[in-house]
Structure 1
Amino acid sequence: MRPDGNLVLYPATSVDTPADAYWYTSTFGNGFKFNLYHNDAGRLMIMNDSSLESFHTIYPDSDSYLSGINFNNNNDNTIYRATLDVGVFRLYSHTYHENGNYHISRLWSALSSSCMINGFCGFNSFCTQDNNQSDCRCLPGHDFVDPNQRSLGCQRNFSEAGCGGGKENVASYNISTMKHMTWGDTPYFAASMSRKECSWSCLEDCNCGAALFSSNYCQKQKLLVRYVRRDKGGYTASLKIGHKGFLKGGLDPKKPPAKITRKIAMVQIVLVTLGFTVLGVALAIFGRFVFKIRVLTYRRLLKNGNLGLPEEVTLRLFTYTELKRATNGFKEELGKGSFGAVYKGSLNKGKKLVAVKRLEIS
């Protein structure tokens, strides 16, 4: 609920700026609050604290400003529930019948599709409707960060070529075109030009990862892109992707790979495998050696009772018995904090004073 009277939905990971908002009530005024009235057929209202004559109904009529309140529904067999279902604000009714059965109905939804949620799909991926289900897919030239969690977004599957600028940069990339695309980031360049000029301009620009075109207007965008969706309308998107020769781990397309015999290839594979094995064993031995040295050093510091600088960056676990002993049975209370009281204590035989908070769980 914003101070200006608007009820707004933002992605959980955003900084709550206007560009992040994906649904709002368009109500403006001071002192407004949101209410769900159960005894008024589940009416969702935004009301002014100072006057009951000033309010706005979200449900059942989101466009009506009313001038009075008339509570006329006394149905004790129905309860109402407003929820955020994976980012979509919805209102449900639960009606209980005399025979013991009950019925759940969705009365209202702020959004018609989960794709309208900013951040439903991660960076460099787009949301689309597939059989009335919202689905995340990667933009061309990208693969899922985690195929089992498609909402985490996608990463580039090719390495960037050196930036030569102009025609030198064009030779390293292709353009993939997608229609009906929108995204929420602000372009770094916008100008009037033809669709062909828009695509060519993105190819020549080292900073351009994609361009949106509509009605002779071109907007160039850097990667990463966010809040991308594919739906009716929208823009024609031109996405710049590298040639197959520039795939991660690939070769320069101007230098075709040399032909080698099977025996030479097998020898190379064996040598590389053996080298990695020896390197892995050496790193494991070295890591264990370093770990033992650090453990011995830390134990020595603990025994001396003077942790110095490492104490500031190293966490130490205490048992409840140790903390009780350190505070003399939580005897001397220093004050009250959030979720519990703070007690005076000492460690290392009284050489170091500490404050111990004991959580109070209600």
Structure 2
Amino acid sequence: MAFAFALTQTLFSLLLLLPIYSTVAQTNGAITLGASLSATDNSSWFSPSGDFAFGFRQLSNTDLFLLSIWYAKIPDKTIVWYANETLAPRGSQVNLTADNGLVLTSPQGQQLWNSSSLNVASGVMNDTGNFVLKDSNSNEVWSSFNNPTDTILPTQTMENEGSLFSRQSETNFSKGRFQVRFLDGNLVLNTINLPSTYANGPPYYKNGTIGDNNNSSPGIQLALNESGYMYIVRENKQRFVLGEGVVNSETDYYYRATLDFDGVFTLYSHPKTSIGSWTVVWSVPENICTDIFLENGGIGACGFNSICTLKDSRPTCKYPPGYSLIDPNDQYSSCKVDFIQGCEEDKLSSTKDIYSVEELTYTDWPTSDYLRLEPFTEVDCRNSCLQDCICAVAIFTENKTCWKKKLPLSNGRYDGKFSGKAFIKVRKSTIPGSHLPNPNNTPDREKKNQDGLIIPGSVLLGSSVFVNFILIGAFCYGFFFIYQKKRNKINRGSSVLDINLHCFTYKELQDATNGFMEELGKGAFGIVYKGAIQMGSNIPVAVKKLYSFAQDSDKEFKAELNIIGKTHHKNLVRLIGFCEEGQQRLLVYEFLSNGTLADFLFGDLRPNWKQRIQIAFGIARGLLYLHEECSTQIIHCDIKPQNILLDEYYETRISDFGLAKLLMMGQSHTNTAIRGTKGYVAPEWFRNMPVTAKVDVYSFGVMLLEIICCRRSVDMASGREETAILTDWAYDCFREGTLDALVEHDMEALEDREELERFVMIAIWCIQEDPSLRPTMRKAMQMLEGVVDVPVPPSPSPFTTTTSL
């Protein structure tokens, strides 16, 4: 029955596609003058084979479209050319005209872009991926191959002075800061200083000069052939092959060479069947983090003030302690200092001991030097930076040299071969996200403190005995208050962790929450209250008051909080600070206005399909970060809709991440996730099996089904025993081909049945009873994105009884 249904669906899909491919075959990919496409539908101009399409691609989560060329037959529809980063609003049109060639106009008729081609008679979308405009004599007057963006395709060539530019990010098609050039017969990679095209030097990659040897002729052309070989053509027609050889058959694989947004130039292959994903054939440079060295300024592999780390041959960017991303949604952007630093600013501080030093191993900023001290000791190097108002970082090397560096820091990298140490200066009690000086250290406050030593004395000398008595009492009380405050500050300072978290007093949080009056929710760890704190401005927060905390767990609490405090990801709720006084333990989080995913999914109105899918992506990205991209792996242990929060734009934020790990050492009796929440707990919790990150994968799979179906994982109130347990019912529906019933005939979800089925299959893989069968979150993310094929999953439990076919 399932096979017959699948066969019927396949034949039906082929019948739907037949008119499209028939039209393409009849026109042989040719486009006539006056033809147009609109940024409102899925119409495209296909190449004769259907391998490539030209048209509009909608950018995710926006109402904007990109005029582009893409691979039409593979799931991820990889874009290989686009119209100069021009974004078109819905309703825009592209027309083929005789005077300007391709003309892109907005819905209001404003011209957004044109190919600037004269005497155009026709266009053609070729099977090579090249869109060509021709005159009446069939001469080429414009082509996408001669106006490349970030990709070279087989049969495409690059002449001397030709170039490619990276995009700004995976989803941002604005011009990025990396450039490939074919210069003087060589493949050259360099960074550029946006918004100009000035190329920083020296290049971070150069293939080796062709033509310096008298016995070889100079290179005149860079080419990629259909077999996946990239080479330089010399003047004498000889070829200089770049990279490694390709063993795949040219008839079975697609190839492309792309300057990725992270600056790595990569040759990829992809099987021409829809199964599979893009695989790296070769890439340059070998280590972009260490290969970029810009002596004359300019940005490195990561932004200013950041640190580049190589992971799986790709750069990842992190910010040092006391710094944060200028654009939190772009990890490759520059970082800003989260405190005021400077010679004038330091003079305003009431204490000389305002900075501490963070030690980073294997970390270096090889440029930004302003002073070299030699010979020098490690202690002297550290202290010299602390006492120097210009110094941001000092690098101490094994040859007893101290390099002092000033802002902005560039070309930061983590290099296991570097034997030196970096001492980065951080202001004590830095509040993440605050760009204002400590309110207790402002000039006005400083002046008042100084004046305060004089004014009371003057008043005392010129007042009556009674008034003096009152003032003396007030003065003593004030002195006692200041003394207590300073003593509390010292006590609190001793417990401030090695992270950018603010340490609050219990009284401060009691006041911030109005006596813990407004309860937002409660869980296994504690109760959450709404509050507001003053950090430059009135900031709404969510204060989690943890249940009774064991005194002997204090060390573990600090150690784990140190790890959690260093996490930073757009899909995680930001931890602002904490409180540890006696038995009291509280955590202060940012407040998110749109509540929990549970409220969003299980309300009266069903959210739209695209919004639900984007929420699933956000949760997956957050879990992937916790599992693989943190300095220490964090297992959430309690993934459920109540722990997923939504900000004002309905972006996903995982809350309580790491809290289970933080409390489990001394607090397993709090039912953290060992018993967990009914319907989300992985089976290994109950079978004395090792608990790994796969428990989060299981919970994610359950929640993915809830997102798909907009219903709870366990629903005994429905009165239908066969549908009460969502995981069992979902597998039954998948096996029987009745996904319509699973989504309650949600027309939005059913519009793309293939995508719906893929998401259900991913969820079933995630809820496999055997942890070894579950994918990692990275693999699950790749399957969600469609870059990895999703095999047909087995029954999630060999012991689960399902209805027969």
2:284 aligned residue: 110
How far residue 33 of structure 1 moved from its aligned partner, in angstroms, is: 3.7
2:204 aligned residue: 22
In structure 2, the CA distance between the partners of 1:171 and 1:161, relative to structure 1 (3 Å rule), is farther
Say if 2:192 and 2:200, in contact at 8 Å, map to a contact too.
Answer: no
Say if 2:368 and 2:408, in contact at 8 Å, map to a contact too.
Answer: no
In structure 2, the CA distance between the partners of 1:28 and 1:222, relative to structure 1 (3 Å rule), is farther
**What amino acid is aligned across from residue 222 of structure 1 in structure 2?**
K
Residue of structure 2 aligned with 1:88, choices 249, 264, 267: 264
Q: Which has the higher strand share?
A: 1
Say if 2:342 and 2:390, in contact at 8 Å, map to a contact too.
Answer: no
In structure 2, the CA distance between the partners of 1:8 and 1:36, relative to structure 1 (3 Å rule), is same
Q: Distance in 2 between matches of 1:189 and 1:228?
A: 18
In structure 2, the CA distance between the partners of 1:134 and 1:105, relative to structure 1 (3 Å rule), is closer
In structure 2, the CA distance between the partners of 1:196 and 1:74, relative to structure 1 (3 Å rule), is closer
Q: Distance in 1 between matches of 2:331 and 2:338?
A: 16
Residue of structure 1 aligned with 2:428, choices 220, 226, 243: 243
- Aligned pair 1:181/2:363, yes or no? yes
Q: Distance in 2 between matches of 1:74 and 1:161?
A: 61
Q: Distance in 2 between matches of 1:125 and 1:109?
A: 23
Normalising by structure 1, we get a TM-score of 0.55
How far residue 90 of structure 1 moved from its aligned partner, in angstroms, is: 0.9
Residue of structure 2 aligned with 1:204, choices 361, 364, 387: 387
Say if 2:223 and 2:233, in contact at 8 Å, map to a contact too.
Answer: no
**What amino acid is aligned across from residue 200 of structure 2 in structure 1?**
T
- Aligned pair 1:123/2:304, yes or no? yes
User: Over residues 317-348 of structure 1, what are the superposed CA-to-partner deviations in whole Å (9 max), with x where a residue is unaligned?
Assistant: xxxxxxxxxxxxxxxxxxxxxxxxxxxxxxxx
Q: Equivalences for 1:1-362 in 2 at 5 Å?
A: 1=181, 3-13=183-193, 15-19=198-202, 21-29=203-211, 31-38=218-225, 41-48=227-234, 50-53=235-238, 56-60=240-244, 75-86=250-261, 87-96=263-272, 104-112=278-286, 115=289, 119-128=300-309, 134-160=315-341, 162=343, 171-192=353-374, 193-215=376-398, 216-234=400-418, 235-244=420-429, 248-250=436-438, 251-252=440-441, 258=482
> Which blocks of at least 5 consecutive residues in structure 2 are unaligned?
1-180, 213-217, 293-298, 450-478, 486-506, 513-532, 538-805
How far residue 156 of structure 1 moved from its aligned partner, in angstroms, is: 1.4
How far residue 178 of structure 1 moved from its aligned partner, in angstroms, is: 0.4
1:330 aligned residue: none
How far residue 24 of structure 1 moved from its aligned partner, in angstroms, is: 2.2
**What amino acid is aligned across from residue 149 of structure 1 in structure 2?**
D
Aligned residue for 1:109, secondary structure, equals strand
Q: Distance in 1 between matches of 2:373 and 2:343?
A: 26
How far residue 170 of structure 1 moved from its aligned partner, in angstroms, is: 6.6
**What amino acid is aligned across from residue 201 of structure 2 in structure 1?**
P
In structure 2, the CA distance between the partners of 1:34 and 1:209, relative to structure 1 (3 Å rule), is farther
User: Over residues 5-26 of structure 1, what are the superposed CA-to-partner deviations in whole Å (9 max), with x where a residue is unaligned?
Assistant: 442212243632325x332223
**What amino acid is aligned across from residue 268 of structure 2 in structure 1?**
Y
How far residue 89 of structure 1 moved from its aligned partner, in angstroms, is: 0.7
Say if 1:174 and 1:240, in contact at 8 Å, map to a contact too.
Answer: yes
**What amino acid is aligned across from residue 108 of structure 1 in structure 2?**
W
Q: Distance in 2 between matches of 1:57 and 1:115?
A: 25
Say if 1:27 and 1:56, in contact at 8 Å, map to a contact too.
Answer: no
**What amino acid is aligned across from residue 42 of structure 1 in structure 2?**
G
Q: Distance in 1 between matches of 2:269 and 2:429?
A: 54
**What amino acid is aligned across from residue 109 of structure 1 in structure 2?**
S
Say if 2:327 and 2:333, in contact at 8 Å, map to a contact too.
Answer: yes
Q: Distance in 1 between matches of 2:311 and 2:257?
A: 27
In structure 2, the CA distance between the partners of 1:227 and 1:76, relative to structure 1 (3 Å rule), is same
In structure 2, the CA distance between the partners of 1:25 and 1:114, relative to structure 1 (3 Å rule), is closer
Say if 1:38 and 1:79, in contact at 8 Å, map to a contact too.
Answer: no
In structure 2, the CA distance between the partners of 1:173 and 1:103, relative to structure 1 (3 Å rule), is closer
How far residue 161 of structure 1 moved from its aligned partner, in angstroms, is: 5.6
How far residue 239 of structure 1 moved from its aligned partner, in angstroms, is: 1.0
Aligned residue for 2:369, secondary structure, equals coil
Aligned residue for 2:199, secondary structure, equals coil
How far residue 237 of structure 1 moved from its aligned partner, in angstroms, is: 0.7
In structure 2, the CA distance between the partners of 1:200 and 1:244, relative to structure 1 (3 Å rule), is same
How far residue 82 of structure 1 moved from its aligned partner, in angstroms, is: 1.2
User: Over residues 223-258 of structure 1, what are the superposed CA-to-partner deviations in whole Å (9 max), with x where a residue is unaligned?
Assistant: 111221223122311112223389833123997995
Aligned residue for 1:52, secondary structure, equals coil
How far residue 206 of structure 1 moved from its aligned partner, in angstroms, is: 2.5
Percent identity of the aligned residues?
Answer: 27
User: Over residues 128-172 of structure 1, what are the superposed CA-to-partner deviations in whole Å (9 max), with x where a residue is unaligned?
Assistant: 35798754322222222232333222211222264689xx99743
Higher RCO, Cα 8 Å, sep 6+: 1
What's the C-alpha RMSD, in Å, of the aligned pairs?
4.3
In structure 2, the CA distance between the partners of 1:82 and 1:33, relative to structure 1 (3 Å rule), is farther
Say if 2:258 and 2:267, in contact at 8 Å, map to a contact too.
Answer: yes
In structure 2, the CA distance between the partners of 1:36 and 1:169, relative to structure 1 (3 Å rule), is farther
Aligned residue for 1:155, secondary structure, equals strand
Aligned residue for 1:232, secondary structure, equals coil
Say if 2:322 and 2:339, in contact at 8 Å, map to a contact too.
Answer: yes
Aligned residue for 2:426, secondary structure, equals strand
How far residue 112 of structure 1 moved from its aligned partner, in angstroms, is: 5.0
Q: Which moved more, 1:196-205 or 1:216-225?
A: 196-205
Q: Distance in 2 between matches of 1:28 and 1:132?
A: 26
Q: Distance in 1 between matches of 2:260 and 2:415?
A: 21
Q: Distance in 1 between matches of 2:205 and 2:351?
A: 40
Q: Distance in 1 between matches of 2:186 and 2:428?
A: 48
Q: Distance in 2 between matches of 1:60 and 1:180?
A: 31
2:601 aligned residue: none
Say if 2:258 and 2:266, in contact at 8 Å, map to a contact too.
Answer: yes
Q: Which moved more, 1:121-130 or 1:214-223?
A: 121-130
In structure 2, the CA distance between the partners of 1:141 and 1:113, relative to structure 1 (3 Å rule), is same
In structure 2, the CA distance between the partners of 1:111 and 1:173, relative to structure 1 (3 Å rule), is same
> Which blocks of at least 5 consecutive residues in structure 1 are unaligned?
62-72, 274-362
Normalising by structure 2, we get a TM-score of 0.27
Q: Distance in 2 between matches of 1:38 and 1:131?
A: 27
How far residue 191 of structure 1 moved from its aligned partner, in angstroms, is: 3.4
**What amino acid is aligned across from residue 82 of structure 1 in structure 2?**
A
Say if 2:228 and 2:250, in contact at 8 Å, map to a contact too.
Answer: no
Say if 2:191 and 2:200, in contact at 8 Å, map to a contact too.
Answer: no
Q: Distance in 1 between matches of 2:355 and 2:277?
A: 57
**What amino acid is aligned across from residue 406 of structure 2 in structure 1?**
K
**What amino acid is aligned across from residue 177 of structure 1 in structure 2?**
E
**What amino acid is aligned across from residue 237 of structure 1 in structure 2?**
A
